Amino acid sequence: MATHDTTHERDAGEAQQAGRAARGGGWLRQAITVLISGALVVRGVRKRSLRGIVMAVLGGAILVRTMGITPGTGERERPVGRAATGGTEVTRSITIGRPADELYEAWRDPGTMSEIMGHFAEIQSAGDDRLHWTVHGPRGWEASWETRIVDDQPGELIRWRSPTDAMVPNEGVVRFDEAPGDRGTKVTLSISFDPPGGNIGEAAARRLDLVPETIAGEALSRFKSLVESGEIPSLDENPSGRGSGDMV
Amino acid sequence: MKALTWHGKQDVRVEDVPRPSLVNPNDAIIEVTATAICGSDLHLYHDRIPSMQKGDILGHETMGEVVEIGNEVESLEVGDRVVVPFTISCGSCWFCEEELYSLCDNSNPNAEIARSMLGHSPAGLYGYSHMMGGYAGGQAEYLRVPYADVGPITIDSDVPDEQALFLSDVFPTGYMAAENADIEENDTVAVWGCGAVGQFCIQSAWLLGADRVIAIDRFPERLSLARDHGDAEVINYEETEVYDRLMEMTGGRGPDRCIDAVGTDAHGTGVTAASDRMKQRLRLEDDRPYVLREAIKCCRKGGTLSVPGAYVGHVDTLPFGALMNKGLTVKTGQTHVQRYLDPLLQQIEEGEIDPSFVLTHERPLENGPEMYETFNNKEDDCIKVILRP
Ligand SMILES: NC(=O)c1ccc[n+]([C@@H]2O[C@H](COP(=O)([O-])OP(=O)(O)OC[C@H]3O[C@@H](n4cnc5c(N)ncnc54)[C@H](O)[C@@H]3O)[C@@H](O)[C@H]2O)c1
Ligand SMILES: [Zn+2]
Ligand SMILES: [Zn+2]
């Protein structure tokens, strides 16, 4: 499954962080979550340099004001659309100008999944409502797992889950609700990389730079772009003085 | 190919970079024939827009010839001569359907960064930071144009480049700013800033029925253009106190409609100006809102403040009390360029307006770095620059 064992390779600093965080439920962990999480790390896994940019963007006082972080405490206003469920579970919604049935069908298609999750995972159909996910993290970290659809309500909801002993135990659910005012469908995605019971998953997720807030936000945006405009906006092969491609 | 790239504050270079290629099915590649430098590029030049990276290709005012099209593109053919709007818009989201093209929901690949800064992501733009899309700009030999059926307008007539090019931004921007000002009969319109945007605000204010137009700047050549070509009354803010002069000119009422065509890099003097500069340096403030402050103070009660001038983040000491108690309306935004292309091209083709009146410099692309400097310093009476790759 995975080429590395996260518990094994975890360095002292990180262990300390995790330990402190676990003890105090503490500010450091919160601060780290804030700094590496959600909106800050935009492309999570493959876009290492983006973090630097975004950190620079949000540096100093502007960070305080934009994100509502109080210096020294690491406290943070709950970001828009985020459920109050803790660090590794997130819920985000988006409104898409298409009927629920069509969106349900698209989400059910492994091809669509592979496109919209392409920003952080490679996805292949593994037959029988199963998908195989592979994630490449920084410094050669890699993990893979399988998910299976465990609840399927056509036009309304799809829930998938990995086995509990997966390297990164995770679970997701997407709901399709008619949006008010004839504006299409409200699509709500919840994902969790730390289902009840496990915290090894959380450590691994951190190691892999998996940031649920980012993954959920980007997956929804990509899904919306794909179904509304027929393509996902892309910076592949984008030229710059640094070469060809996104950020390079 | 050759391109102008950003390398930090006041550091623009000519670099050899890879040629863009088709990526998505709705893309087109154009060979650039003319591209302009905009006041918005100067905000980048001053390193005021977050999330630029060294080597980013600049430029969002572009025209050229279509050389490649993706297999879903229907409205363009290889060989077409096109002007490319600076706003990248998908054409199919709610915002595009409402003709709010600069607010497109789908065109920003870095929507999450923009969301973290602004609450929501606006449309992707060319050459205007990673937060605003990260797309390579058009101050280059070639440009990749996404959603090619939605953006570019084909120019079939023999309207020359220097007349057509400004459809990409500054002409529609001035026009939308004047529309946003809600001009009514007998209205006096005051325009802060006599750059290309301000000049098109002045032209458009007349087109939309203004009774009187007053233009404010400090550079004599820009004020002359506003006066002689734009028929505006002018105020040099370095010689006169703007509030006093406007009250005198309007019998104490204040201009009915005020347009801020200056934006975040406004030039100011005095104590608040020094304090704004200091706060900017300490990153306590992102913008220098002198013109906003002044316009709020000057605007007639119940009037409208239209803001095409670009702002970045947080401003301090904005007289919101005046805004509220005087019952002002504020309208703003990046221009919904696509909305204005057809009607404004028609005006150009019918000879009602020749947008090239703002053009002062036309140079090869290789001279880009010097031209940024000249335009930035307003040297050599520079008002608008076109570069030819
Ligand atoms: N909303 C949009 O979509 C859009 C599009 C294009 C440009 N813009 C913005 O419009 C603004 C103007 O662009 P431009 O190309 O004309 O730039 P420019 O630099 O050529 O012109 C700006 C003018 O403002 C004048 N100015 C500076 N401080 C002033 C003050 N305190 N009072 C009066 N005038 C003052 C300058 O002397 C200069 O002539 C910029 O902020 C630019 O980013 C916005
Ligand atoms: Zn511009
Ligand atoms: Zn759109």
pLDDT tens digits, one per residue of B117-149: 899 999 999 999 999 999 999 999 999 999 999
B325: exposed, middle or buried (Cβ count in 10 Å: 0-12, 13-18, 19+): exposed
* pLDDT band at residue B272 using 50, 70 and 90 as cut-offs: confident
Domain that holds residue A196: 89-229
pLDDT of residue A7 exceeding 50, the answer is no
Structure tokens at B190: 């005051």
Q: Does the structure show a pLDDT above 50 at A27?
A: no
Residue A188 located in a structural domain: yes
| Domain B171-332 fold | Rossmann fold (3.40.50)
Nearest ligand, CA of residue B138?
Answer: 2
pLDDT digits (tens, 9 = 90+) for B177-200: 999 999 999 999 999 999 999 999
State the CATH architecture for B2-169+335-388. Answer: Alpha-Beta Complex (3.90)
User: Mean pLDDT over residues A189-202, rounded?
Assistant: 68
One-letter amino acid at B14 equals V
Q: What is d(CA B300, CA B150) in angstroms, rounded to the nearest whole number?
A: 39
pLDDT at A12: 34
Q: Say if residue A121 is in the same domain as residue A176.
A: yes
The mean predicted confidence, pLDDT, of chain B is 95
Q: Is the pLDDT of residue B255 over 80?
A: yes
Residue A218 and residue A155 in one domain: yes
Pairwise CA distance, residues B169 & B177, whole Å: 12
The pLDDT-based confidence of A202 (bands split at 50, 70, 90) is low
B87 CA to centre of ligand 3 in angstroms? 10
| High-pLDDT (> 90) share of chain B, % | 89
**Minimum CA–CA partner of A57 in chain B:** B50
Mean pLDDT, residues B314-318 taken together: 85
Q: Say yes or no: A112 and A142 in one domain.
A: yes
Tell me, using a 6 A CB cutoff, whether residue B219 lines ligand 1: yes
Q: Do A28 and A122 have their domain in common?
A: no
Is residue A206 very low, low, confident or very high in pLDDT (cuts 50, 70, 90)?
Answer: low
Q: pLDDT tens for residues B291-308?
A: 999 999 999 999 999 999
CA of B125 to the centre of ligand 3 (A): 12
Residues A94 and A48 in one domain: no
Asked if residue B116 has pLDDT above 90, the reply is no
In a domain, residue A15? The reply is no
pLDDT score at A25: 32
- List CB contacts of A222: < 8 A, sequence separation 6 or more: A115, A116, A118, A119, A232
Residue A222 and residue A145 share a domain: yes
pLDDT top residue among B335 and A84: B335
Looking at residue A33, what is its pLDDT?
Answer: 34
- Mutation to test the A interface, candidates B6, B12, B52, B53, most A Cβ within 10 Å: B53
Shared domain check, A122 and A62: no
Half-sphere exposure of A178 (CA within 13 A, CB side): 3
Arithmetic mean of pLDDT, B241-252:
98
What is the number of structural domains in chain A? 2
Cα(A237)–Cα(A246) distance, rounded to whole angstroms? 7
Q: Which residues of A touch B119 (CB under 8 A)?
A: 80
* Confidence bin at A9 (pLDDT 50/70/90): very low
- HSE-CB at B183 with a 13 A cutoff on CA atoms is 26
Each residue of B57-114: pLDDT tens digit?
Answer: 999 999 999 999 999 999 999 999 999 999 999 999 999 999 999 999 999 999 988 9
The DSSP secondary structure of chain A, one letter per residue, reads: --SS-HHHH--HHHHHHHHHHHHH--HHHHHHHHHHSGGGSSSTTS-HHHHHHHHHHT-HHHHHHHHTEETTTTEEPPPTT--SS-TTEEEEEEEESS-HHHHHHHHH-HHHHHHHTTTT-EEEE-STTEEEEEEE-GGG-EEEEEEEEEEEETTTEEEEE--TTSSS--EEEEEEEEPGGG--EEEEEEEESS-TT-SHHHHHHHHTT--HHHHHHHHHHHHHHHHHHSS----TT-EETTEESS--
> Is the pLDDT reported for residue A167 higher than 90?
no
**pLDDT band at residue A60 under the 50/70/90 scheme:** very low
CA distances from B164 to A227, B80, B137, B155, B354 (A): 34, 14, 18, 8, 9
CB contact under 8 A, A233 and B313: no
Per the prediction, chain A carries an average pLDDT of 70
Mean per-residue pLDDT for A111-120?
Answer: 92
Show the tokens assigned to B202: 């002045």
**Quick one: pLDDT at residue B113?**
87
Query: Does residue A106 share a domain with residue A37?
Result: no
Test site for ligand 1: of B88, B204, B262, most ligand atoms within 8 A of the Cβ: B262
Task: Look at residue A198 in the predicted model and tell me its pLDDT.
Answer: 54
Quick check: B3 pLDDT over 90? yes
CATH of the domain at A205: 3.30.530.20
The domain ranges of chain B are 2-169+335-388, 171-332
Label residue A205 by pLDDT band (50, 70, 90): low
State the ipTM, two decimals: 0.93
Position A243 in a domain: no
pLDDT-based confidence at residue A120 (cuts at 50, 70, 90): confident
Q: Which are the contacts of B250, defined by CB distance < 8 A and separation ≥ 6?
A: B188, B300
A54: in domain: yes
Q: Is residue A100 part of a domain?
A: yes
Separation of alpha carbons B347 and B272, rounded Å: 43
Contacts of B7 in chain A (CB under 8 A): 241
**Chain B from 273 to 292: CB within 8 A of any A CB:** 282-284, 286
